[in-house]
Chain A
Amino acid sequence: MAAACRLPEGGLIDRSRTLRFAFDGRDYAGHPGDTLASALLANGVGLVGRSFKYHRPRGVLTAGPEEPNALVELREGARREPNSKATGVELFDGLTARSQNRWPSLEHDVGAVNGLLSPLFVAGFYYKTFKWPSAFWEKVYEPLIRRAAGLGRSSGLADPDSYEKAFAFCDVLVIGSGPAGLAGALAAGRAGARVILCEEDFAPGGRLLCEEDLEIDARPALDWAQDALRELAALPNVTVMPRTAVFGVYDGGTYGAIEKVGDHLPEPLPGQPRQRLWQIVAGRSILAAGAFERPLVFSGNDRPGVMMASAVRSYRSRFAVVPGRRAAVFTNNDDGWRTAFALAEAGATLEAVVDTRPQIDAAIRKRAGFLGTRIVTGGRVASTSGGRALAEIEVVDATGHVRHLGCDLLAMSGGFNPSLGLATHLGARPRWSEAIAAFRPDATPPGMSVVGAANGTFGTGAGLAEGFAAGQAAAAAAGFEAPVAEAPRARDETLAVSPVWHVAGKGKAFVDLQHDVTAKDVELAHREGFRSVELLKRYTTLGMATDQGKLSNINGHARMAELLGRPVEEVGTTVSRAPHVPVAIAAFAGHARGRHFKPTRLTAGHDFARRNGASFVETGQWLRAQWFARPGEADWLDSVVREVNAVRGGVGICDVSTLGKIDVQGADAGAFLNRVYVNAFAQLPVGRARYGLMLREDGFVLDDGTVARLGPEHFVLSTTTANAARIMKHLNFCAQVLWPELDVQLASVTEAWAQYAVAGPRSRQLLQAMLGQAFDLANERFPFMGVAEFEWAGVPVRLFRISFSGELAYEIAVPAHFGEALAEALMAAGGPLGATLYGTEALGVMRIEKGHVAGNELSGTTTAADLGLGRMMSTKKDFVGRALSGREGLVDSARIRFVGFRPVDPSARLSGGAHFLEVGAEPTTANDLGYATSVAFSPTLGHWIGLGLLRNGPERIGERLRAVDLLRGTDVEVEICSPVFVDPEGVRLRD
């Protein structure tokens, strides 16, 4: 049935090229310029989908993004896109599509049995039943409901295409390129303003592409549109963006838009994203998004073959398709008649024009007289019949006389709803207009004007004038004086709509076609008290389908108003929300997915570590070397044990560059540090470092680190890796907001320095060998907590004698560009000493052996006293957090406090996150004494050790408790001990 419904000529399609496509496994042909819907209709395919609940057969209803019925699974494999609107899919060669929500086939869908059960499946039926037996809900009923619902299938595979984001700025954003939008863009563009014109469709022009009877400035409207587009293209200050839908309005003149860059191609071109998410910042905007035609609610209004009247014109004029041979029109306004005339001109047999209005305009009547068709005024279409395709309509005239007319196309028009969703995204509510029987925008987002059909101005001439004026005003607001010029002229079509919210008749009259919400469901909701339109929506799902009620809402809301006996104005309409058109989730992510989800920070020695066999671990955004596996090592624990032993017995080297480093200078730098740390720094001698602890304002520990004094007015402090940005922010707050009177300057120098820990009894030997005469490391010259700056090997060096491992240790820093070379130099100097690289895992083991607190203990809920650091809190000065650290709850003796523990059976393994219980106590919350924060196998001691927070912890040292991990099923008897397992006197690090 090739091109069954395609007219022999006309339309905005390129007949010189043929595009092949497949629907439900059958091959068809279409042309460039077609949508999937127009190509299907051209091929005489009327049945394209099944509805959500009753699985009713459905065809193409509209020609635009409001389509509720013709939803397909587009493409195959990982590129499958469920719920694609055939009316919005631009045809390409090789396109494949499949109908959805049916089984086993579109023609024979078992789910249609739901339609038979529909007396039970009314709105909200599931709330009233399926309660018994209770286990049945999850096991039986819910899975059934879920499978029956749901429309199309996602591929379940990772999306193979790429996506981008982009930012754009303009003086004037014009949304929509119909006559009103084009006029707005021309006026603003000619004045010199920076204009962006976004058009959702692949072809700009709006309704002008679809109406053959329009003239603008005394020319065919399409010619005018093409000239306008040419002029806009030539203006350097104007950007026309086709295939770009504005989907959201956000604060401060920010708009979201989605550009379909490669969707009209079988696959995006190399380097091209599939879609691009635009954030557009506009001084002003002009909403010229047109209007959506409203269905009439009558029995059988969902049957394939029933279409929106203006869509029938679109197919005819733009796509040269007349989707029926014997047609009828059902309308309550003048616009429906334009479809009648267009159908007649296209050669279709017009069986009847049924107008609900008793009276129609004389000019129309006169012109209709020439059609020679049946004209029924004050009448209605009471029902349709015909199974999977329209065959007959039942027409009732003003006298109640019933007639059955055979036809395969019924064009219906219930009036027009301005597409004003975007005007309400910031909370403005639309206002009901009796004149057009629809909501019009009232207040709008700051800077937005609404023009043309979107503003309820349905006449082309008036829309052009509105658009033009808005364009000039918007340009003027941006400081561009528009040249004096007249708006383009056109005549205004009439509408004269007389609303009908529900046409009496037997059988299902659909309000929301996709969700199968019927007029009866609205009545039921009313009866059961779901009377606010928002409750109506939630109870019946009216307007919650993929079209978001663009066609259905007003019909449902107005019907509710009728039932309530109140004006529509009072009853109102539901809130519309972004995205105005559905947007692929991947588009919002853009580049930031997979490996690129978050940036990766690499230290200067990253490649060096990799070359040396490092495995890496994520620490915030950093990658850190976790351990360095060597051939023959069975698992990571082998490597870590070797690394720890190497440090404790010789010397190890570890990249510690990721710790935050903040440079603090100024006459008041010392005073400043005194206020942000619990302990004192003002008197710290130059050339010395000190461990410091910061509290939050609420008295809990914020972070720890070392502070080194490099000069009288110069300190550098370190933060934990994870907290670096937070501490910088906190210190900036202190400096700028709390104490602006202090002379203190802060700079993050984390990135500037590569820093390596050199730890172990041979660390001094190694460094001395490497540094030679550049620096003397003798203990008395450079003692524990010493700090020095000097130059060596052509670079400045910062040397700190600090130790996390508890061994004699140093940290050496050079400008990061030299970091890799430093690592190599360290290894070279350390070679003869057996120097070993170690990673964060060994570092962690050694800090546990040494009882140093780290991230697991600095959990944001511990106080200095909890961690055994209470004595650091100075009583000689005030500091951030001091006041609230004294609250009852923070000094309560029942708090859990820092201890060490070890298994009584040395072969037993400990488990992080285990809780402490008394021996013999029931595992209950009441008996919970605390938990293990950090555990490790200690190569130094030859058994597992742990750190924990325990109620009355320090007082329990020597007691035996159990560390119970109910998740892993372990229960280990442990002895509570000091958290310092190795060298508690601290002899090693001072040697």
Chain B
Amino acid sequence: MRYSIFSLAANALTGHRRWKPTWRDAAPKAGGYDVVVIGGGGHGLATAYYLARNHGIRNVAVIEKGWIGSGNVGRNTTIIRSNYLLPGNSSFYELSMKLWEGLEADLGYNAMVSQRGVLNLFHSDAQRDAYVRRGNAMRLEGIDAELLSREDVRREMPFLAFDDARFPIKGGLRQRRGGTARHDAVAWGYAGAASERGVDIIQNCEVTGFLTDPDGRVTGVETTRGAIRAGKTAMAVAGNSSRVAALAGFRLPIESHVLQAFVSEAIKPLIDNVVTFGAGHFYISQSDKGGLVFGGDIDGYNSYAQRGNLPTVEDVCEGGMALMPAIGRVRMLRSWGGIMDMSMDGSPIIDHAPVAGLYLNAGWCYGGFKATPASGHCFAHLIATDAPAREAAAYRLDRFERGYTIDEKGQGAQANLH
């Protein structure tokens, strides 16, 4: 594509005056679109991209109420992995992993996909059994997984708390192909590649209602920048799913919850993988800039404010200090929150909405960043063909009513426990 070391060098010589916008900032077209995608997050942008790329549907608009990437794609802890347990999930997340692996070449944009490995630690025999079960499920799906002993973990991360720990580390399950990606760049890369294929990216445009025909079929959206007609309308609004669904007159098996995340001041490389603590709510990696990026549990009450409260901050840092006392004197630089679409079984929904003409992509909880490529891929498939993609076939909306929930954690119908 247009970005390369050569274009960079050539531009350097001309003072970088010739760069064009990464994506076109479009205004709504009067004639409407074949497909309107609500939500300029990772999923919405990827959906538009794959509609154009895989299905040749280019008369597409992505409508974003703020600036693209202002939602969760711009505020997550960047972990990508496909270490899922249940069949409905593992095939989907592995598709995503494969798409990540080819993403830069595909988009012509360096989203800094870094397969530095994801290590889940366990602290009891029962937890080891559960991770072995998971690792085997992954291997059956053709996904890489390794079991690490306590000594293996100690060799690789000697600065973890091996002595005087409340919950001693007994080993870990590692997926080497897991890692991180530069979150914002994922949105920008998809936006650029979609825009290049003709997709209109419309920022500062909030959907406030739906246009319907007399049969109640959705025919477009009402927005802060006027009505926009659409052959098909798709929603990928993550934390705002329930609000947008309410505009269309239905409820979702989703509750919105705030998840906080944290970044430390930049330090020289200390942690070269992604680690999760199995006996507390804490996970961490280090950004290329040097900040320790970490998080833990959700605050636990439903919320649309992108911020949380102190008890959770303390809980996360307690987990951090229990696992990694070497980060004690590193300072937290910034904290923030994102609103997550916590589904009632912890797994997503990619399906027709209960309203005709409307397509639904929601319920990503705190795990939808890694899903971005597959979500866009499968959602585009559903929108284009009206049939579910094979890898996302389990993500039906009626699974709750019918009892086919996909509950990785076994917590049941309580959103904040997933």
Residues of A whose CB lies within 8 Å of any CB of B are: 52, 79-83, 119-120, 122, 125-132, 134, 137-138, 142-143, 145-147, 149-159, 161, 163, 165, 248, 250-251, 254, 256, 277, 279, 425-427, 520, 524, 527-532, 534-535, 538-539, 541, 544-546, 548, 575, 577-579, 582-590, 592-598, 600, 617-618, 696-700, 855-856, 859-861, 884, 887-892, 911-915, 923-925, 927-928, 931-934, 964-968
Q: Which of A127, A142, A544 contacts B114 (CB 8 A)?
A: A142
Known: A597-B322, A914-B132. A131 touches B105 (CB 8 A): yes
Known: A127-B189, A597-B322, A913-B129. A584 touches B330 (CB 8 A): yes
The 4 residue pairs across chains A and B that have the minimum distance between CB atoms = A860-B410, A913-B132, A159-B328, A889-B403
Give the residue among A152, A546, A578 with the most B Cβ atoms within 10 A.
A578
Known: A546-B333, A585-B264, A914-B136. A860 touches B16 (CB 8 A): no
Question: In the complex the two chains form, is A585's CB within 8 Å of B147's CB?
Answer: no
Question: In the complex the two chains form, is A535's CB within 8 Å of B69's CB?
Answer: yes
Question: In the complex the two chains form, is A151's CB within 8 Å of B290's CB?
Answer: yes
The yes or no answer to B227 lying at the interface (CB within 8 A) is no
The yes or no answer to B379 lying at the interface (CB within 8 A) is no
Bound-complex Cα distance A489 to B313 (A): 42
Question: In the complex the two chains form, is B317's CB within 8 Å of A149's CB?
Answer: no
Residues of B whose CB lies within 8 Å of any CB of A are: 3-5, 7-9, 12-13, 15-17, 19-25, 66-70, 74, 87, 90-91, 104-105, 108-116, 123-126, 128-137, 139-142, 145-147, 159, 161, 164-167, 179, 182, 184-185, 188-189, 203, 264-270, 279-280, 286, 288-290, 305, 307, 309-310, 313-314, 316-322, 325-336, 399, 401-405, 407, 409-413
Known: A527-B17, A538-B184. A80 touches B87 (CB 8 A): no
CB neighbours (8 Å) of B412 from chain A are 696-698, 700, 860
Question: In the complex the two chains form, is B139's CB within 8 Å of A83's CB?
Answer: no
Question: In the complex the two chains form, is B310's CB within 8 Å of A254's CB?
Answer: yes
Question: In the complex the two chains form, is B128's CB within 8 Å of A912's CB?
Answer: yes
Question: In the complex the two chains form, is B268's CB within 8 Å of A967's CB?
Answer: no
Return 6 A-B CB contacts under 8 Å, by A number. A130-B5, A151-B265, A427-B307, A584-B331, A594-B166, A967-B145
Q: Which of B21, B128, B405 contacts A529 (CB 8 A)?
A: B21
Give the residue among B7, B19, B310 with the most A Cβ atoms within 10 A.
B310
CB neighbours (8 Å) of A928 from chain B are 87, 137, 140
Question: In the complex the two chains form, is B413's CB within 8 Å of A696's CB?
Answer: yes
Known: A150-B290, A524-B19, A588-B318. A156 touches B270 (CB 8 A): yes
Question: In the complex the two chains form, is A156's CB within 8 Å of B405's CB?
Answer: no
A911: nearest chain-B partner, CB-CB: B132
Known: A129-B110, A142-B112, A154-B330. A968 touches B147 (CB 8 A): yes
Known: A534-B67, A595-B164. A151 touches B268 (CB 8 A): yes
Whole-angstrom distance from the CB of B188 to the nearest CB of chain A? 7
CB neighbours (8 Å) of B280 from chain A are 597-598
Known: A154-B326, A529-B25, A594-B161. A915 touches B137 (CB 8 A): yes
Bound-complex Cα distance A9 to B167 (A): 58
Bound-complex Cα distance A889 to B403 (A): 4
Whole-angstrom distance from the CB of B275 to the nearest CB of chain A? 15
Question: In the complex the two chains form, is B167's CB within 8 Å of A597's CB?
Answer: yes
B113: nearest chain-A partner, CB-CB: A137
Known: A158-B161, A887-B402. A149 touches B266 (CB 8 A): yes
CB neighbours (8 Å) of B316 from chain A are 588
CB neighbours (8 Å) of B269 from chain A are 143, 146-147, 150
Bound-complex Cα distance A16 to B265 (A): 37
Known: A120-B8, A156-B326, A583-B332. A127 touches B3 (CB 8 A): yes
Question: In the complex the two chains form, is A138's CB within 8 Å of B114's CB?
Answer: yes
CB neighbours (8 Å) of A151 from chain B are 265-268, 290
CB neighbours (8 Å) of B128 from chain A are 912-913
B107: nearest chain-A partner, CB-CB: A131
Q: Which of B166, B313, B411 contacts A595 (CB 8 A)?
A: B166
Question: In the complex the two chains form, is A859's CB within 8 Å of B410's CB?
Answer: yes
Count of CB-CB pairs between chains A and B under 8 Å:
376
Q: Which of A147, A587, A933 contacts B268 (CB 8 A)?
A: A147
Question: In the complex the two chains form, is A254's CB within 8 Å of B309's CB?
Answer: yes
CB neighbours (8 Å) of A617 from chain B are 124-125
Bound-complex Cα distance A662 to B140 (A): 43
Q: Which of B24, B129, B318 contacts A934 (CB 8 A)?
A: B129
Q: Which of A145, A158, A578 contacts B325 (CB 8 A)?
A: A158
Known: A585-B331, A696-B413. A157 touches B326 (CB 8 A): yes
Question: In the complex the two chains form, is A597's CB within 8 Å of B321's CB?
Answer: yes
Question: In the complex the two chains form, is A165's CB within 8 Å of B314's CB?
Answer: yes
CB neighbours (8 Å) of A126 from chain B are 110, 112, 288
Q: Which of A149, A524, A888 contacts B403 (CB 8 A)?
A: A888
CB neighbours (8 Å) of B286 from chain A are 146
Question: In the complex the two chains form, is B288's CB within 8 Å of A527's CB?
Answer: no
Q: Which of A146, A425, A535, A590 contacts B288 (CB 8 A)?
A: A146
B102: nearest chain-A partner, CB-CB: A134
Question: In the complex the two chains form, is B265's CB within 8 Å of A82's CB?
Answer: yes
Bound-complex Cα distance A884 to B327 (A): 47
Question: With A256-B310, A595-B164 given, can you name 9 additional A-B contacts, CB distance below 8 Å?
Answer: A119-B13, A131-B4, A157-B159, A527-B17, A546-B265, A585-B328, A586-B325, A598-B167, A892-B404
Bound-complex Cα distance A279 to B265 (A): 23
CB neighbours (8 Å) of A697 from chain B are 412-413
Question: In the complex the two chains form, is A860's CB within 8 Å of B411's CB?
Answer: yes
Known: A142-B114, A150-B268, A928-B87. A915 touches B16 (CB 8 A): no
Known: A138-B114, A151-B290, A699-B403. A129 touches B328 (CB 8 A): no
Give the residue among A145, A150, A531, A617 with the most B Cβ atoms within 10 A.
A150
Question: In the complex the two chains form, is A915's CB within 8 Å of B329's CB?
Answer: no
Known: A150-B266, A159-B326, A529-B22. A925 touches B318 (CB 8 A): no
Question: In the complex the two chains form, is A127's CB within 8 Å of B331's CB?
Answer: no
